[in-house]
Amino acid sequence: MMRTGFFTKKWRIGIGCWLLAGLCAGQDQGKKNIKLSNSLYYFIGKGLQLPLQATRQWLTPGETILTHREKKENTYIEPLHAAKIKAKQVLQTTHQQLTLYPDQLSMTEKDQLLQQVAPFFTSNQSQHLQDKLSGTTALSIDQDLLPTFARTHVKRFPIYRGPNCFHTAIAFSYPDIVDTEFLNPKWEKGYHPHMLNGDEIARALSLGFYPLHRVQTLQYGDILIFLEKSSTPQIPLHLKIQHAMVYLFSDYVFSKASKSADSPYRIEKLETEWKIWSQLQDLEIKVFRKKPVHGTTLSSFTPYDWRS
């Protein structure tokens, strides 16, 4: 009898521990689900984690962008139905001003950083970055760790509607081909030519990039696509793409939110972008990486003209 009671008591203790462990695991999983969705959680922390110092800035359109004269002279300017002072208060977008101190990086991290940015930098830009990494002066991500297109556009507002997230993502890698008729033959009425449609970015991705079917690590310059989930495989990619951005490092991305004239180019956290766009659709993330062919343009990846 005592032996039976002993095992009964032990069995009860075991069941209790199992239930408690299950409850704790459920709470931990619940916290993850609340903070991030499963599809986003998979990507957080998968890139090069740098010891960055971030300062959150609020970007607002400049005075000259809101003048009536410019609106009359440029038919592509999207009307901003508000007085200047009200527009400056309403049209605010966050930007992460990032700073990196070279003396906080190991030699391995410096080498990885130089290798990842090399396909997007000119030889002079790469040499300049290497020189700065060997010193102690702080690096500004906006000025020192972005390729030419992103560096000249970040924190700026266009004065017309048209440039969108698709155009921004491709221009990061191929600024010289993204605005040509080869890639962007269809110009929509009322929009500046610097806008790509879903079929145009899909073509650019198929020519100059390759999809990562299993993401082990993210790399600088990877294009992250927010894609509408669909159980119908016949639906083409270009009809499902909702948003595109460029991965940098440490969970930060470079992007432009929309084709509107009040949408600036900015650096933000991937989590922030996800929270904004995941309200629209049931989304998943797909990653495309630039093809490792240097000194080429998108047109060199195809032997024919797709408009024929």
For 91-112, the pLDDT digits (tens) are 678 999 999 999 999 999 999 9
d(CA 172, CA 149): 6
Output b/e per residue, 241-260; b: 16+ Cβ within 10 A. Answer: bebbbbbbbbbbbbbbbebb
For residue 235, what pLDDT band results from cuts at 50, 70 and 90? confident
The residue with greater pLDDT, 72 or 91, is: 91
Residues 128-182: pLDDT tens digits?
A: 999 999 999 999 999 999 999 999 999 998 877 888 999 999 999 999 888 777 7
For residue 19, what pLDDT band results from cuts at 50, 70 and 90? very low
Tell me 41's DSSP state.
Answer: H
d(CA 226, CA 190): 26
Q: What is the mean pLDDT of the chain?
A: 78
Does residue 107 sit in helix, strand or coil? helix
Torsion of CA 273, 227, 285, 235, to 10 degrees: 180
Q: What is the pLDDT of residue 52?
A: 97
pTM: 0.78
Q: What is the pLDDT of residue 295?
A: 46
Residues 285 and 225 sit within 8 Å (Cβ to Cβ)? yes
The sheet that has 52-59: what strands, in order across it?
A: 52-59, 93-100, 139-140
Phi-psi region of 223 (alpha: psi -120 to 50; beta: other; left: phi over 0): beta
d(CA 65, CA 279): 30
